[in-house]
């Protein structure tokens, strides 16, 4: 199990791998989008422009399947950004990994700051009485394999959904908490928060599990010759499957986001 | 599972910056291009529709013009047929009239000639009868007008009786 490189900065715990991967993901997505829209043409679009238009139309289709497209149009750019961000993030962890190992508390520093997660781990291992405490830190991974990141995205959707519900559809929005009877209020409340949790955790768990299995296969590869031979087809299969999972999860995240938005924006439709 | 809430905040900030950048520099122009293309396609479809309607109208017009021309040609032929038959009838009529007139002329001429001949014969017969009479009665019948008239009258009576 790899640790995250967390440093203390002004009382805040900053996860450096998350920061790094977020920057890389954002940069890749932005460069991709910028390349696609570099030489825009109405009549003779380039291949990459066509691809980007295909992505946009794909998200458009998801929005129209969830709600009236006129109402969903403002979320088109958000949906496209979301699907590209999550897909690129999911893919990044599949290419390679950067892992550093620490045996010594004094060596576990970055930019002159101690990596607190490593020192804590070494301390607990030491307390358990291990002679050679050992910690591994993953620097390069999918940003979406971190629960903090996926919950951040889910939280963004949650805030948008409930803000829109409270502002644009106030009466129906507050009424629906007490439907069909006022007794159901706690259940409805729990439902809303369970939506938030499942939205974030679904993405995290799928990607994280994929990376854990890749780590396990790599461990098998380094264990013995037979394991190394065996690990090659296994890794190929699992990498391919992970690409599939990554694409599906990005798709599901955006579909659910549009469904949640439509549920509050289009709420009065459900009543009659 | 180690939840670091600072990561959530960093993610939100990073994502919102990415969203802002993309909306401003990538999607805004791309959406407008896609909208323009939609507009272009709709415009071209409209144009094609208009052209097709025009073409249909032209074909209809051409059909009508052809029909009209056919009708005109038929009318002309019909008319010329009528005219020619009328003309033929006229010509025949004219020829008939001419023939009748010629015949009548000829009849009249013959009548004239006959009358003339009769007249001439009568005067010659008168003269001859006077001569015969004078020869018979010996120069007593003079060839004057009174006697001539008498003879004429007599001859007329004879002619009228015959």
* Whether A148 contacts chain B with CB within 8 A: yes
Task: State the Cα–Cα distance between residues B106 and A238, nearest whole angstrom.
Answer: 133
The reply to whether residue A37 touches residue B10, judged by beta carbons under 8 angstroms, is no
Residue B33, token pair as written in the block: 């291009």
> Which residue's entry shows tokens 């050679």?
A132
pLDDT for position A263 = 84
Query: pTM to 2 decimals?
Result: 0.73
Q: Which helix (H) or strand (E) holds A157?
A: helix A147-168
pLDDT for position B68 = 96
Beta-strand relationship, A98-102 and A109-110? unpaired
Instruction: Classify each residue of A68-90 as buried b or exposed e, where b means 16 or more C-beta atoms within 10 Å of its C-beta.
Output: eeebbeebbbbbbbbbbbbbbbb
pLDDT for position A83 = 93
Tens digits of per-residue pLDDT, A200-226? Answer: 999 999 998 988 888 888 888 888 888
Residue A3, token pair as written in the block: 């640790």
The reply to whether residue A26 touches residue B37, judged by beta carbons under 8 angstroms, is no
User: Residue A180, preceding bond cis, omega within 30 degrees?
Assistant: yes
Which chain A residues have a beta carbon less than 8 Å from that of B1?
147
Residue of chain B minimizing CA distance to A32: B26
pLDDT for position A272 = 41
Q: Which residues pair with A15 in a beta bridge?
A: A6
**Average pLDDT along chain B, 162 residues, taken 10 residues at a time:** 80 91 87 88 95 95 95 95 94 94 94 91 84 73 68 75 54
Nearest to A105 by CA among A127, A140, A133: A133
User: Residue B115, preceding bond cis, omega within 30 degrees?
Assistant: no
Residue in B5, B11, B23 closest to A22 by CB: B11
pLDDT for position A271 = 46
* Greatest Cα pair distance in chain B: 192
pLDDT for position B141 = 55
Residue A33, token pair as written in the block: 């989008």
CA-CA-CA-CA torsion sign (B96, B100, B103, B105) = negative
Regions in chain A scoring below 50 on pLDDT? 270-272
CA-CA-CA-CA torsion sign (B17, B21, B24, B27) = negative
Task: State the Cα–Cα distance between residues A84 and A58, nearest whole angstrom.
Answer: 12
> Which residue's entry shows tokens 């997660």?
A117
Distance of CA B121 to the CA centre of its chain: 62
What ipTM was assigned to the predicted interfaces of this complex? 0.85
Q: Which residues pair with A8 in a beta bridge?
A: A13
Q: Which residues pair with A208 in a beta bridge?
A: none
Task: State the Cα–Cα distance between residues A217 and A239, nearest whole angstrom.
Answer: 11
Which chain B residues have a beta carbon less than 8 Å from that of A23?
14
Which chain A residues have a beta carbon less than 8 Å from that of B42?
none
């Amino acid at each position: 199990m790899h640790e995250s490189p967390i440093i203390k900065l002004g009382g805040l715990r900053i996860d450096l791998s998350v920061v790094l991967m977020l920057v890389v993901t954002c940069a890749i997505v932005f460069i991709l989008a910028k390349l696609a829209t570099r030489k825009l043409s109405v009549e003779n679009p380039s291949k990459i422009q066509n691809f980007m238009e295909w992505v946009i139309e794909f998200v458009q289709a998801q929005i129209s399947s969830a709600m009236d497209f006129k109402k969903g149009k403002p979320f088109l750019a958000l949906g496209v950004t979301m699907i590209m961000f999550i897909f690129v993030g999911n893919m990044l962890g599949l290419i390679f990994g950067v892992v550093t190992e620490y045996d010594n508390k004094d060596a576990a520093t970055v930019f002159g700051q101690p990596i607190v997660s490593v020192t804590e781990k070494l301390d607990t291992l030491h307390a358990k009485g291990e002679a050679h405490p050992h910690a591994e830190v993953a620097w390069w991974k999918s940003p979406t394999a971190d629960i903090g990141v996926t919950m951040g995205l889910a939280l963004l959707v949650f805030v948008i959904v409930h803000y829109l519900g409270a502002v644009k559809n106030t009466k129906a929005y507050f009424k629906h908490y007490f439907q069909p009877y006022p007794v159901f209020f706690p259940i409805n409340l729990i439902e809303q928060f369970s939506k938030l949790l499942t939205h974030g955790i679904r993405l995290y768990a799928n990607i994280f599990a994929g990376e854990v299995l890749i780590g396990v296969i790599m461990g098998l590869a380094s264990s013995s010759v037979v394991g190394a031979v065996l690990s090659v087809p296994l890794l190929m299969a699992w990498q391919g499957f992970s690409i599939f999972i990554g694409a599906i999860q990005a798709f599901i995240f955006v579909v659910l986001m549009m469904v949640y938005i439509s549920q509050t924006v289009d709420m009065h439709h459900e009543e009659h | 599972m180690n939840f670091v809430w600072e990561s959530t905040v960093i993610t939100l900030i990073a994502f919102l910056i990415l969203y802002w950048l993309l909306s401003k520099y990538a999607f805004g122009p791309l959406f407008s291009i896609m909208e323009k293309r939609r507009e272009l396609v709709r415009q071209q479809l409209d144009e094609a529709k208009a052209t097709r309607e025009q073409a249909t109208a032209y074909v209809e017009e051409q059909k009508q013009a052809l029909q009209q021309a056919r009708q005109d040609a038929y009318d002309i032929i019909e008319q010329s047929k009528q005219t020619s038959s009328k003309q033929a009838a006229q010509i025949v009529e004219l020829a008939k009239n001419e023939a009748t007139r010629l015949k009548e002329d000829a009849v009249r001429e013959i009548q004239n000639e006959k009358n003339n001949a009769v007249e001439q014969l009568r005067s010659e017969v008168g003269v001859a009868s006077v001569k015969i009479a004078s020869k018979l009665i010996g120069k007593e019948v003079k060839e004057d007008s009174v006697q001539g008239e008498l003879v004429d009258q007599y001859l007329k009576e004879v002619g009228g009786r015959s």
